[in-house]
């Protein structure tokens, strides 16, 4: 998927599958520290959150919003929507939407389906509820997949991740929506390993200064 809306040299940072928090030192999700870092740099990030994660960390959306960022809907349980029936698709989007609104997220909020998996049947299931459809803004994909989840699963360093993401940006003429993950939403064991090893905060604090030095400009997610 591509937004096709970004001028050359513009980068838009998006973070999926959070929010998350880690106590003490070491790797792990750190959504608020990430939001603080970006805020201090004057960068508006978009955090596509899962309702189930917000239920675990109900105070984090307000902290992210207070730092000037946007919150989007990434479904309740991070489901592969085309595999569900219409009622289940509606429930996955609605439950998360209601949870995010209760947590303070503004509407209409951007929507990104897990895995980028979306089809006409998914759209029909959401659009059948006019109020729910009106509460969302676009279906957002990404141009550059940081592949960070794979790095965390394989225990590869954040320095490698930064080099890889930078190379992808260079290949894309330096423009695009970048996908990374501030946590991992699913409960299975590979996902738990990725979550424990998450170093997206460390990767971003290395990557952003490099991009700033190279003259890249960060922008908020363009309207869908
Ligand atoms: Zn996701």
Give the distance (Å) from ligand 1 centre to CA of residue 159: 22
Asked if CATH classification 3.20.20.370 holds for the domain at 10-218, the reply, yes or no, is yes
pTM: 0.93
Give dist(CA 32, CA 40) in Å, integer: 12
Give the distance (Å) from ligand 1 centre to CA of residue 3: 18
Give the distance (Å) from ligand 1 centre to CA of residue 185: 7
Locate the domains of the chain by residue range: 10-218
Q: pLDDT tens digits for 155-193?
A: 888 888 888 888 888 777 667 899 999 999 988 888 888
**What is the rounded average pLDDT of the residues 99-125?**
97
Give the distance (Å) from ligand 1 centre to CA of residue 66: 23
Query: How far out from the chain centre does Cα 198 lie?
Result: 14
Give the distance (Å) from ligand 1 centre to CA of residue 113: 7
Give the distance (Å) from ligand 1 centre to CA of residue 218: 22
Q: pLDDT tens digits for 21-56?
A: 999 888 999 999 999 999 999 999 999 999 999 999
Give dist(CA 150, CA 170) in Å, integer: 21
Give dist(CA 140, CA 61) in Å, integer: 20
């Amino acid at each position: 998927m591509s937004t096709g809306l970004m001028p050359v040299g513009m980068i838009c940072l998006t973070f999926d599958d959070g929010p998350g928090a880690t106590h003490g030192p070491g790797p792990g999700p750190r959504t608020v520290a990430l939001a603080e870092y970006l805020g201090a740099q004057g960068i508006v990030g978009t955090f596509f959150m899962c309702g189930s994660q917000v239920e675990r960390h109900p105070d984090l959306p307000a902290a992210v919003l207070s730092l000037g960022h946007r919150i989007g809907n990434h479904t309740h349980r991070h489901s592969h929507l085309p595999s569900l029936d219409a009622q289940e698709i509606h429930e996955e989007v609605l439950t998360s939407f209601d949870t995010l609104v209760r947590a303070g997220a503004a509407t209409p909020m951007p929507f990104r389906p897990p895995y980028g998996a979306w089809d006409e049947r998914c759209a029909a299931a959401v659009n059948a509820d006019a109020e729910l459809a009106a509460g969302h803004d676009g279906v957002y994909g990404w141009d550059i997949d940081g592949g960070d989840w794979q790095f965390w699963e394989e225990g590869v360093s954040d320095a490698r991740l930064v080099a890889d993401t930078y190379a992808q940006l260079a290949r894309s003429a330096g423009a695009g929506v970048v996908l990374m993950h501030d946590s991992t939403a699913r409960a299975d064991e590979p996902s738990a390993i990725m979550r424990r090893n998450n170093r997206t905060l460390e990767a971003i604090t290395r990557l952003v200064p490099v991009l700033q030095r190279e003259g890249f400009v960060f922008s908020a997610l363009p309207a869908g």
